């Protein structure tokens, strides 16, 4: 096996291990600490130095610069558009740094990845595979809602799922509507932004702080104590009376529709695994469609 293949194998083992762990954290907590990526940065730095000895140095520097730039542009671009979370943008940046050139490693079953695109930037292949995996998510939501007969609001069937008020504080994501009203978004200002009470993080923090069994506890509470809640937590408010009214309105519903907080590291991990084995699926599809 060529020396470059050993360097790529180290990259692959490190990437798969760290992304598997990051996916577990994202599913469990919807949060991936920055330190999770430190091992990949360290491996990437050592591997980059090794590349200068086992590959053409000029090519390595050129591709390393371009790959890191692509990871940063797309990662931060999607982050500022609101598509990615903080961990997702760092994941792309780290992949751009870790894989400056497209990896290639022989196995008893053959050399992988099977298909390498004409523009061999690995981070773009992972991103393309991730986007294709993400497209399937709305379809899966629709099928799930249909199977559970949660069809009272067809406008939301491909956008979210229905949960009871009792379950809400155990969920992640945003409140996007009710059975009767798609536009329930919560115009409260808790958190100092426009999310208001539609942010389920707020619901979870408030229910825990107030020591309620669920958000239904708001229905019987004479005083919601939002003033004390704001003083004792990181949440802020410009209009406590308005926020109290919106919180009571939310609690008055038996169920709401939420847009789940998608653990996006998981489809990135899936895109990584596909890129390491099959290759660039989007490139394969385009080549098949246009007969290239």
Select, from the ranges 92-101, 168-177, 192-201, the one with the highest average predicted confidence (pLDDT): 92-101
**pLDDT the model gives residue 185:** 47
Judge whether 165 and 254 are in contact, CB under 8 Å.
yes
pTM, to two decimals: 0.73
Q: What DSSP string describes 134-173? A: HHHHHHHHHHHHHHTT--S-GGGTTT-EEEETTTGGG--E
Beta carbons within 8 Å of 246's beta carbon, 6+ residues apart:
186, 187, 188, 196, 197
Give tens-digit pLDDT for 23-74: 999 888 778 898 999 999 999 999 999 999 999 999 999 999 999 999 999 9
Q: Can you state the angle between helices 122-147 and 265-277, rounded to 10 degrees?
A: 120
Portions of the chain given CATH number 1.20.120: 3-137+263-290
**pLDDT the model gives residue 11:** 95
Q: Which fold has domain 3-137+263-290?
A: 1.20.120
Whether the pLDDT of residue 189 is over 50: the answer is: no
């Amino acid at each position: 096996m060529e020396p470059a293949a050993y360097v790529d194998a180290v990259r692959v083992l490190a990437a798969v291990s760290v992304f598997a762990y990051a996916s577990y954290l994202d599913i469990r907590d919807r949060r991936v600490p920055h330190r999770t990526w430190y091992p990949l940065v360290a491996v990437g730095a050592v591997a980059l130095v090794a590349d200068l000895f086992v590959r053409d140095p000029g090519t390595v520097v050129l591709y390393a610069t371009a790959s890191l730039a692509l990871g940063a542009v797309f990662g931060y671009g999607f982050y500022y558009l609101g598509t990615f979370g903080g961990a997702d943008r760092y994941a792309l940046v780290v992949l751009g740094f870790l894989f400056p050139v497209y990896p290639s490693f022989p196995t008893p079953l053959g050399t992988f990845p099977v298909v390498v695109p004409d523009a061999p930037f690995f981070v773009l292949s992972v991103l393309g595979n991730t986007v294709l995996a993400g497209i399937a998510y709305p379809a899966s939501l629709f099928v799930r809602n249909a199977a559970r007969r949660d069809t009272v609001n067809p406008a939301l069937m491909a956008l979210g799922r229905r949960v009871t008020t009792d379950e809400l504080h155990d969920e992640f994501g945003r409140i996007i509507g009710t059975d009767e009203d798609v536009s329930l978004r919560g115009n409260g200002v808790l958190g100092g932004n426009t999310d208001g009470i539609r942010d389920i993080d707020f619901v979870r923090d408030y229910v825990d702080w107030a020591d309620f069994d669920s958000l239904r506890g708001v229905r019987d509470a004479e005083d919601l104590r939002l003033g004390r809640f704001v003083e004792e937590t990181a949440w802020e408010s410009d209009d406590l009376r308005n926020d109290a009214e919106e919180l009571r309105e939310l609690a008055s519903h038996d169920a709401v529709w939420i847009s789940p907080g998608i653990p996006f590291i998981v489809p990135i991990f899936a895109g990584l695994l596909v890129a390491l084995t099959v290759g660039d699926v989007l490139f394969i599809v385009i080549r098949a469609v246009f007969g290239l």
